[in-house]
Structure 1
Amino acid sequence: MKLFTTSRLGNPLRLGCRSSQRRSASTLGSDVAQQLLSRLKDRVTTRRQVLDGNQLQKLSLTLNRRHLHPGHDISEIAPPNGTVLPAGYHLVYFTPNGTEFELGVDGTDRSFNAPAPFTRRMWAGGRMQWAKNCPLRVGEEVEERTRLLAAEPKKSRDGTEMIVVTIEKEFWGSQGLSLTDQR
Protein backbone atom coordinates (compact mmCIF):
# COMPACT_ATOMS: atom_id res chain seq x y z
CA MET A 1 0.00 0.00 0.00
CA LYS A 2 1.32 3.43 -0.92
CA LEU A 3 0.49 6.36 1.37
CA PHE A 4 -0.06 9.94 0.24
CA THR A 5 0.10 12.87 2.59
CA THR A 6 -1.91 16.00 2.15
CA SER A 7 -2.84 18.81 4.49
CA ARG A 8 -6.25 19.29 6.07
CA LEU A 9 -6.62 22.11 8.58
CA GLY A 10 -2.88 22.01 9.24
CA ASN A 11 -2.83 18.32 10.22
CA PRO A 12 -1.36 15.61 8.02
CA LEU A 13 -3.94 13.29 6.56
CA ARG A 14 -2.82 9.94 5.22
CA LEU A 15 -4.67 8.39 2.34
CA GLY A 16 -4.26 4.76 1.46
CA CYS A 17 -4.25 3.34 -2.04
CA ARG A 18 -4.26 -0.34 -2.94
CA SER A 19 -1.18 -1.50 -4.78
CA SER A 20 -3.26 -1.93 -7.95
CA GLN A 21 -4.14 1.76 -7.76
CA ARG A 22 -0.64 3.14 -7.21
CA ARG A 23 -0.01 6.62 -8.46
CA SER A 24 2.17 9.48 -7.40
CA ALA A 25 0.81 12.29 -5.27
CA SER A 26 1.28 14.66 -8.22
CA THR A 27 -1.21 12.71 -10.35
CA LEU A 28 -3.79 12.56 -7.55
CA GLY A 29 -4.55 16.28 -7.90
CA SER A 30 -4.71 16.05 -11.69
CA ASP A 31 -7.04 13.06 -11.54
CA VAL A 32 -9.36 14.71 -9.02
CA ALA A 33 -9.45 17.97 -11.01
CA GLN A 34 -10.25 16.07 -14.21
CA GLN A 35 -13.00 14.06 -12.48
CA LEU A 36 -14.52 17.26 -11.12
CA LEU A 37 -14.50 18.84 -14.59
CA SER A 38 -15.97 15.72 -16.20
CA ARG A 39 -18.75 15.49 -13.64
CA LEU A 40 -19.70 19.18 -13.53
CA LYS A 41 -18.59 20.85 -16.78
CA ASP A 42 -22.08 21.07 -18.28
CA ARG A 43 -23.99 21.53 -15.03
CA VAL A 44 -25.71 24.84 -14.29
CA THR A 45 -27.37 25.20 -10.90
CA THR A 46 -30.27 27.65 -10.89
CA ARG A 47 -31.86 29.16 -7.79
CA ARG A 48 -34.38 31.98 -7.37
CA GLN A 49 -34.82 34.36 -4.47
CA VAL A 50 -36.72 37.56 -3.76
CA LEU A 51 -34.21 40.15 -2.55
CA ASP A 52 -35.53 40.96 0.90
CA GLY A 53 -35.02 44.47 2.30
CA ASN A 54 -34.71 43.15 5.85
CA GLN A 55 -31.76 40.95 4.92
CA LEU A 56 -30.10 43.90 3.18
CA GLN A 57 -30.70 46.12 6.22
CA LYS A 58 -29.14 43.59 8.60
CA LEU A 59 -26.02 43.26 6.44
CA SER A 60 -25.63 47.02 6.11
CA LEU A 61 -26.00 47.60 9.86
CA THR A 62 -23.57 44.75 10.60
CA LEU A 63 -21.08 46.61 8.41
CA ASN A 64 -21.81 49.78 10.44
CA ARG A 65 -23.40 51.49 7.43
CA ARG A 66 -26.64 53.23 8.34
CA HIS A 67 -26.98 54.71 4.85
CA LEU A 68 -27.17 52.47 1.78
CA HIS A 69 -27.07 55.57 -0.39
CA PRO A 70 -26.67 59.27 0.56
CA GLY A 71 -29.78 60.39 2.43
CA HIS A 72 -31.19 56.86 2.69
CA ASP A 73 -31.02 55.98 6.42
CA ILE A 74 -31.99 52.36 7.08
CA SER A 75 -31.21 52.18 10.79
CA GLU A 76 -34.90 51.85 11.80
CA ILE A 77 -36.76 50.75 8.68
CA ALA A 78 -35.65 48.24 6.05
CA PRO A 79 -35.12 49.67 2.56
CA PRO A 80 -38.30 49.66 0.46
CA ASN A 81 -38.88 47.67 -2.72
CA GLY A 82 -37.07 49.21 -5.64
CA THR A 83 -33.99 50.23 -3.63
CA VAL A 84 -30.80 49.50 -5.59
CA LEU A 85 -28.38 47.09 -3.89
CA PRO A 86 -24.93 48.60 -3.35
CA ALA A 87 -22.03 46.82 -5.06
CA GLY A 88 -21.15 43.54 -3.35
CA TYR A 89 -24.29 43.35 -1.21
CA HIS A 90 -25.61 40.49 -3.34
CA LEU A 91 -23.36 38.24 -1.22
CA VAL A 92 -25.96 38.25 1.59
CA TYR A 93 -28.44 36.42 -0.63
CA PHE A 94 -28.56 32.87 -2.02
CA THR A 95 -27.29 31.16 1.12
CA PRO A 96 -27.19 27.33 0.99
CA ASN A 97 -30.57 25.57 1.22
CA GLY A 98 -29.33 22.23 2.53
CA THR A 99 -29.51 20.70 5.96
CA GLU A 100 -26.40 20.78 8.14
CA PHE A 101 -25.52 17.25 6.98
CA GLU A 102 -25.55 18.40 3.33
CA LEU A 103 -23.22 21.36 3.92
CA GLY A 104 -19.44 21.39 3.96
CA VAL A 105 -17.57 21.51 7.26
CA ASP A 106 -17.34 25.29 6.86
CA GLY A 107 -21.10 25.65 6.34
CA THR A 108 -20.98 26.15 2.59
CA ASP A 109 -22.77 24.46 -0.28
CA ARG A 110 -20.65 21.50 -1.46
CA SER A 111 -22.06 21.40 -5.02
CA PHE A 112 -18.89 22.58 -6.74
CA ASN A 113 -16.30 21.59 -4.12
CA ALA A 114 -13.47 19.18 -4.80
CA PRO A 115 -13.80 15.79 -3.05
CA ALA A 116 -11.61 14.51 -0.21
CA PRO A 117 -8.78 14.94 0.46
CA PHE A 118 -9.12 18.40 -1.14
CA THR A 119 -11.93 19.66 1.10
CA ARG A 120 -10.16 22.60 2.74
CA ARG A 121 -11.49 25.78 1.15
CA MET A 122 -10.15 29.30 0.92
CA TRP A 123 -11.04 32.41 -1.04
CA ALA A 124 -8.29 32.82 -3.62
CA GLY A 125 -9.72 35.82 -5.46
CA GLY A 126 -12.51 36.80 -7.73
CA ARG A 127 -13.95 39.31 -10.14
CA MET A 128 -17.34 40.98 -10.26
CA GLN A 129 -18.78 42.73 -13.29
CA TRP A 130 -22.00 44.73 -13.06
CA ALA A 131 -24.17 45.35 -16.10
CA LYS A 132 -24.86 49.00 -16.82
CA ASN A 133 -28.44 50.18 -16.26
CA CYS A 134 -29.54 46.82 -14.83
CA PRO A 135 -29.03 46.94 -11.04
CA LEU A 136 -30.33 44.41 -8.55
CA ARG A 137 -33.22 45.86 -6.52
CA VAL A 138 -34.96 45.08 -3.24
CA GLY A 139 -38.23 43.22 -3.81
CA GLU A 140 -37.12 41.79 -7.13
CA GLU A 141 -37.05 38.05 -7.80
CA VAL A 142 -33.53 37.24 -8.96
CA GLU A 143 -32.20 34.09 -10.56
CA GLU A 144 -28.68 32.90 -9.69
CA ARG A 145 -27.03 30.60 -12.24
CA THR A 146 -23.85 28.87 -11.08
CA ARG A 147 -21.45 26.85 -13.20
CA LEU A 148 -17.94 25.43 -12.94
CA LEU A 149 -15.37 27.23 -15.09
CA ALA A 150 -12.16 25.45 -14.09
CA ALA A 151 -10.58 22.93 -11.73
CA GLU A 152 -6.79 23.01 -11.70
CA PRO A 153 -4.29 21.06 -9.60
CA LYS A 154 -1.70 23.30 -7.90
CA LYS A 155 1.01 23.00 -5.28
CA SER A 156 1.05 25.27 -2.25
CA ARG A 157 4.23 26.96 -1.03
CA ASP A 158 4.85 24.07 1.34
CA GLY A 159 4.42 21.52 -1.46
CA THR A 160 0.99 20.18 -0.54
CA GLU A 161 -1.43 19.62 -3.35
CA MET A 162 -4.61 21.59 -3.77
CA ILE A 163 -7.33 22.00 -6.37
CA VAL A 164 -8.15 25.55 -7.44
CA VAL A 165 -11.83 25.61 -8.43
CA THR A 166 -13.27 28.58 -10.33
CA ILE A 167 -17.01 29.06 -10.51
CA GLU A 168 -19.13 31.72 -12.17
CA LYS A 169 -22.38 33.05 -10.76
CA GLU A 170 -24.70 35.09 -12.93
CA PHE A 171 -27.50 37.10 -11.33
CA TRP A 172 -30.50 37.74 -13.57
CA GLY A 173 -33.15 40.25 -12.54
CA SER A 174 -36.32 41.41 -14.24
CA GLN A 175 -34.33 43.60 -16.65
CA GLY A 176 -31.79 40.92 -17.63
CA LEU A 177 -28.26 40.05 -16.53
CA SER A 178 -27.27 42.31 -13.62
CA LEU A 179 -24.03 40.82 -12.34
CA THR A 180 -21.39 38.22 -13.15
CA ASP A 181 -19.38 37.04 -10.14
CA GLN A 182 -16.37 34.75 -10.67
CA ARG A 183 -14.67 33.14 -7.68
Structure 2
Amino acid sequence: MTSDIEIRNETSDDIAAIAAVTIAAFRDLEISNQTEHVIIDALRAAEALALSLVAVVDGRVVGHIAFSPVTLSDGTRDWYGLGPVSVLPQVQRRGIGQALVREGLSRLRRMQARGCCLVGHPEYYRRFGFENCPQLVLEGVPPEVFFAVSFDGTLPRGTVAFREGFGAVGPSSCANEV
Protein backbone atom coordinates (compact mmCIF):
# COMPACT_ATOMS: atom_id res chain seq x y z
CA MET A 1 0.00 0.00 0.00
CA THR A 2 2.93 2.39 0.55
CA SER A 3 2.99 3.37 -3.13
CA ASP A 4 -0.58 4.73 -2.82
CA ILE A 5 0.27 6.96 0.13
CA GLU A 6 0.81 10.68 -0.22
CA ILE A 7 2.83 12.16 2.64
CA ARG A 8 2.52 15.94 2.93
CA ASN A 9 2.62 18.79 5.42
CA GLU A 10 -0.56 19.30 7.40
CA THR A 11 -2.81 22.18 6.41
CA SER A 12 -5.42 23.96 8.49
CA ASP A 13 -8.06 21.92 6.62
CA ASP A 14 -6.52 18.73 8.09
CA ILE A 15 -6.82 19.62 11.79
CA ALA A 16 -10.17 17.89 12.46
CA ALA A 17 -9.11 14.82 10.48
CA ILE A 18 -5.83 14.62 12.40
CA ALA A 19 -7.74 14.69 15.68
CA ALA A 20 -10.12 11.98 14.47
CA VAL A 21 -7.26 9.75 13.26
CA THR A 22 -5.36 10.23 16.51
CA ILE A 23 -8.37 9.52 18.72
CA ALA A 24 -9.18 6.36 16.73
CA ALA A 25 -5.57 5.15 16.71
CA PHE A 26 -5.13 5.40 20.49
CA ARG A 27 -8.68 4.58 21.61
CA ASP A 28 -8.05 0.94 22.53
CA LEU A 29 -4.40 1.13 23.61
CA GLU A 30 -3.97 0.33 27.29
CA ILE A 31 -0.74 2.36 27.44
CA SER A 32 -2.56 5.51 26.33
CA ASN A 33 -4.35 8.10 28.44
CA GLN A 34 -6.23 9.13 25.28
CA THR A 35 -4.67 12.61 25.39
CA GLU A 36 -2.59 12.33 22.21
CA HIS A 37 -4.92 14.57 20.20
CA VAL A 38 -4.77 17.13 23.02
CA ILE A 39 -0.96 17.01 22.91
CA ILE A 40 -1.02 17.75 19.17
CA ASP A 41 -3.43 20.65 19.71
CA ALA A 42 -1.22 22.03 22.51
CA LEU A 43 1.93 21.75 20.38
CA ARG A 44 0.16 23.43 17.46
CA ALA A 45 -1.15 26.24 19.72
CA ALA A 46 2.38 26.80 21.08
CA GLU A 47 3.74 26.85 17.52
CA ALA A 48 5.96 23.94 18.55
CA LEU A 49 5.15 21.57 15.69
CA ALA A 50 8.43 21.72 13.83
CA LEU A 51 7.08 19.12 11.44
CA SER A 52 3.53 17.83 11.17
CA LEU A 53 2.85 15.40 8.33
CA VAL A 54 -0.27 13.62 7.18
CA ALA A 55 -0.63 10.41 5.21
CA VAL A 56 -3.36 10.62 2.61
CA VAL A 57 -4.87 7.64 0.78
CA ASP A 58 -7.60 8.17 -1.82
CA GLY A 59 -7.95 11.80 -0.74
CA ARG A 60 -8.51 10.91 2.93
CA VAL A 61 -6.19 11.61 5.87
CA VAL A 62 -5.42 8.19 7.37
CA GLY A 63 -2.26 8.94 9.36
CA HIS A 64 -0.34 11.70 11.11
CA ILE A 65 3.08 12.24 12.68
CA ALA A 66 4.36 15.14 14.77
CA PHE A 67 7.89 16.30 15.56
CA SER A 68 8.69 19.04 18.08
CA PRO A 69 11.92 20.45 19.49
CA VAL A 70 13.26 18.94 22.73
CA THR A 71 15.58 20.48 25.29
CA LEU A 72 18.71 18.63 26.41
CA SER A 73 20.32 19.35 29.77
CA ASP A 74 23.81 19.35 28.25
CA GLY A 75 22.83 22.26 25.98
CA THR A 76 22.89 20.28 22.73
CA ARG A 77 20.62 21.95 20.20
CA ASP A 78 18.64 20.84 17.15
CA TRP A 79 17.19 17.66 18.59
CA TYR A 80 13.54 16.74 18.13
CA GLY A 81 10.95 14.49 19.70
CA LEU A 82 8.84 12.21 17.55
CA GLY A 83 5.25 11.76 18.53
CA PRO A 84 2.52 11.16 18.52
CA VAL A 85 2.28 9.06 15.36
CA SER A 86 -1.18 7.77 14.46
CA VAL A 87 -2.73 5.58 11.78
CA LEU A 88 -6.43 4.72 11.50
CA PRO A 89 -6.92 1.21 12.90
CA GLN A 90 -8.60 -0.12 9.74
CA VAL A 91 -5.50 0.67 7.63
CA GLN A 92 -2.76 -0.24 10.12
CA ARG A 93 -0.09 -2.79 9.15
CA ARG A 94 0.00 -1.53 5.57
CA GLY A 95 3.17 0.56 5.77
CA ILE A 96 1.54 3.92 6.48
CA GLY A 97 3.21 4.42 9.85
CA GLN A 98 6.57 3.38 8.40
CA ALA A 99 6.16 5.81 5.52
CA LEU A 100 5.36 8.64 7.96
CA VAL A 101 8.37 7.88 10.18
CA ARG A 102 10.79 7.51 7.25
CA GLU A 103 9.61 10.71 5.57
CA GLY A 104 9.63 12.61 8.86
CA LEU A 105 13.19 11.54 9.69
CA SER A 106 14.30 12.39 6.16
CA ARG A 107 12.82 15.87 6.45
CA LEU A 108 14.43 16.39 9.87
CA ARG A 109 17.81 15.56 8.35
CA ARG A 110 17.20 18.10 5.57
CA MET A 111 16.36 20.66 8.28
CA GLN A 112 19.87 20.07 9.69
CA ALA A 113 18.50 18.36 12.82
CA ARG A 114 21.15 16.59 14.85
CA GLY A 115 18.92 13.82 16.19
CA CYS A 116 15.54 12.61 17.33
CA CYS A 117 14.16 10.81 20.37
CA LEU A 118 10.88 9.17 21.33
CA VAL A 119 9.00 6.96 23.71
CA GLY A 120 7.73 3.87 21.94
CA HIS A 121 7.66 0.16 21.25
CA PRO A 122 11.15 -1.38 21.00
CA GLU A 123 10.28 -3.81 18.21
CA TYR A 124 8.94 -1.04 16.01
CA TYR A 125 11.38 1.86 16.27
CA ARG A 126 14.67 -0.06 16.08
CA ARG A 127 14.05 -0.61 12.35
CA PHE A 128 14.49 3.15 11.83
CA GLY A 129 17.84 3.27 13.64
CA PHE A 130 16.52 4.24 17.08
CA GLU A 131 18.39 2.74 20.03
CA ASN A 132 18.23 2.85 23.79
CA CYS A 133 20.93 5.29 24.87
CA PRO A 134 21.90 5.05 28.54
CA GLN A 135 23.49 8.52 28.44
CA LEU A 136 20.08 10.08 27.63
CA VAL A 137 17.28 10.03 30.19
CA LEU A 138 13.64 11.05 30.05
CA GLU A 139 12.59 11.33 33.67
CA GLY A 140 9.70 9.11 34.65
CA VAL A 141 10.09 6.89 31.57
CA PRO A 142 11.62 3.39 31.70
CA PRO A 143 14.86 3.37 29.68
CA GLU A 144 13.75 0.32 27.65
CA VAL A 145 11.03 2.40 25.92
CA PHE A 146 13.04 5.61 25.45
CA PHE A 147 14.95 5.76 22.15
CA ALA A 148 17.19 8.13 20.24
CA VAL A 149 18.86 8.30 16.86
CA SER A 150 21.72 10.66 16.04
CA PHE A 151 21.97 12.16 12.57
CA ASP A 152 25.49 13.54 13.05
CA GLY A 153 27.11 10.58 14.80
CA THR A 154 27.22 12.13 18.27
CA LEU A 155 24.85 11.46 21.13
CA PRO A 156 24.27 14.10 23.79
CA ARG A 157 24.37 13.25 27.49
CA GLY A 158 21.83 14.20 30.09
CA THR A 159 18.13 14.67 30.57
CA VAL A 160 15.69 15.24 27.72
CA ALA A 161 12.64 17.48 28.16
CA PHE A 162 9.79 17.30 25.68
CA ARG A 163 7.68 20.39 25.02
CA GLU A 164 5.15 21.45 27.62
CA GLY A 165 2.31 20.26 25.35
CA PHE A 166 3.16 16.66 26.24
CA GLY A 167 1.73 17.31 29.68
CA ALA A 168 -1.62 18.32 28.20
CA VAL A 169 -4.74 16.80 29.69
CA GLY A 170 -8.44 17.24 29.16
CA PRO A 171 -10.61 17.82 26.13
CA SER A 172 -9.46 19.91 23.21
CA SER A 173 -11.67 22.08 21.08
CA CYS A 174 -10.78 20.02 18.02
CA ALA A 175 -11.70 16.73 19.70
CA ASN A 176 -15.16 18.06 20.46
CA GLU A 177 -15.77 18.66 16.76
CA VAL A 178 -15.19 15.09 15.60
- Provide the TM-score with structure 2 as the length reference: 0.22
Q: Greater strand share, 1 or 2?
A: 1
**Structure of higher CA gyration radius:** 1
- Provide the TM-score with structure 1 as the length reference: 0.22
Q: Greater helix share, 1 or 2?
A: 2
